[in-house]
């Protein structure tokens, strides 16, 4: 199963992609995580991306398309993949189509997680993750069971993304509406989009996403 998870920043697509990765046994490909790794490594791509990401702007299509083209050739993608944060513009969606054709692959479904902008700002501003295993938490909505200790791995250090502040989030939402939302129409034309209400609790959204995917797998 090859799928795309679409949704504005804070819609929970990263969390849902991680859960699907475990349930379906296929790899999550997050361009945001790939770029953050480049930034941490201090590479040339990382230096270009860092400034743009901190400002809430998108990284140029050419960089992202090249990263993804190479990533999709790796062996762990053969059983299927979950695209998280890619494509984010119509040129990226077009490039993905060409790329998949050349690799004799196709998308099975595009899941669009639909949410409300103002709620997204509150959600993103409070989120953080375990520095050791990456498990996600939130100041208001998802605290660890024992304060200061990661439920998943027992880690005691936590990190917040540099671009998870209200000002940058507003820019990221603007970029989403101007550049990413039009790809829903692009995939609607191809009959691939399934819409899921992303406003409920995380577990409920997971069930809805899973049910859409199960139906798709049976069709």
Binding site for ligand AMP (CB under 6 A): 9, 31-32, 35, 52-53, 56-59, 64, 85-86, 88, 92, 163, 172
Exactly one of 19, 36, 123, 127 is catalytic; name it: 127
User: Where are the strands (E) in the chain, listed by range?
Assistant: 2-6, 27-30, 81-84, 109-114, 127-130, 136-138, 158-159, 193-197
Beta-bridge mates of residue 47: none
- Cα dist. 77→98, 182, 193 in Å? 17, 27, 22
**67-101: string of b/e by CB count within 10 Å (b at 16+)?**
bbeebbeeeebeeebbbbbbbbbeebbebbbebee
Beta-bridge mates of residue 113: 196
Indicate the residue whose CB is closest to ligand AMP: 32
- Smallest gap from Cβ 58 to ligand AMP, in A, equals 4
CB atoms within 10 A of CB 123: 22
Q: Residue 15 or 163: which CB sits closer to ligand AMP? A: 163
Q: Is 172 a catalytic residue?
A: yes
Pairing state between β 158-159 and 127-130? antiparallel
- Smallest gap from Cβ 198 to ligand AMP, in A, equals 14
- Smallest gap from Cβ 208 to ligand AMP, in A, equals 21
Q: Residue 12 or 56: which CB sits closer to ligand AMP? A: 56
**CA nearest neighbour of 34 among 104, 88, 80, 95:** 88
Q: Is 197 exposed, middle or buried (0-12, 13-18, 19+ CB in 10 A)?
A: exposed
Distance CA 175, CA 205 (A): 24
- Smallest gap from Cβ 164 to ligand AMP, in A, equals 9
Q: Is 13 a catalytic residue?
A: yes
- Smallest gap from Cβ 59 to ligand AMP, in A, equals 4
Q: Is 215 a catalytic residue?
A: no
Q: Residue 35 or 209: which CB sits closer to ligand AMP? A: 35
Q: Is 71 a catalytic residue?
A: no
Q: Residue 126 or 145: which CB sits closer to ligand AMP? A: 126
Q: Residue 42 or 147: which CB sits closer to ligand AMP? A: 42
Exactly one of 18, 54, 132, 161 is catalytic; name it: 161
* Residues noted as catalytic: 13, 88, 127, 161, 172
């Amino acid at each position: 199963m090859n799928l795309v998870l679409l949704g504005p920043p804070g819609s929970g697509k990263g969390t849902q992609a991680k859960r699907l990765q475990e349930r379906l046994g296929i790899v999550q490909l997050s361009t945001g995580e790939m770029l953050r790794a480049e930034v941490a490594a201090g590479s040339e791509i990382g230096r270009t991306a860092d400034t743009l990401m901190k400002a809430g702007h998108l990284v140029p299509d050419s960089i992202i398309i090249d990263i993804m083209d190479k990533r999709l050739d790796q062996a762990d993608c053969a059983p299927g993949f979950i695209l998280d944060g890619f494509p984010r513009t119509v040129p990226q969606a077009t490039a993905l189509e060409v790329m998949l054709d050349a690799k004799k692959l196709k998308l099975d479904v595009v899941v669009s997680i639909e949410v409300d902008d103002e709620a997204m700002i509150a959600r993103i501003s409070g989120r953080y993750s375990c520095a050791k295993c990456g498990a996600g938490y939130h100041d208001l909505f998802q605290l660890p069971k024992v304060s200061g200790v990661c439920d998943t791995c027992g880690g005691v250090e936590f990190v917040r993304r540099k671009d998870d502040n209200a000002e940058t989030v507003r820019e990221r939402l603007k970029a989403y509406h101007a550049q990413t939302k039009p790809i829903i129409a692009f995939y609607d034309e191809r009959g691939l989009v399934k819409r899921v209400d992303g406003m409920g609790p995380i577990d409920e959204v997971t069930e809805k996403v899973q049910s859409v995917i199960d139906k798709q797998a049976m069709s």
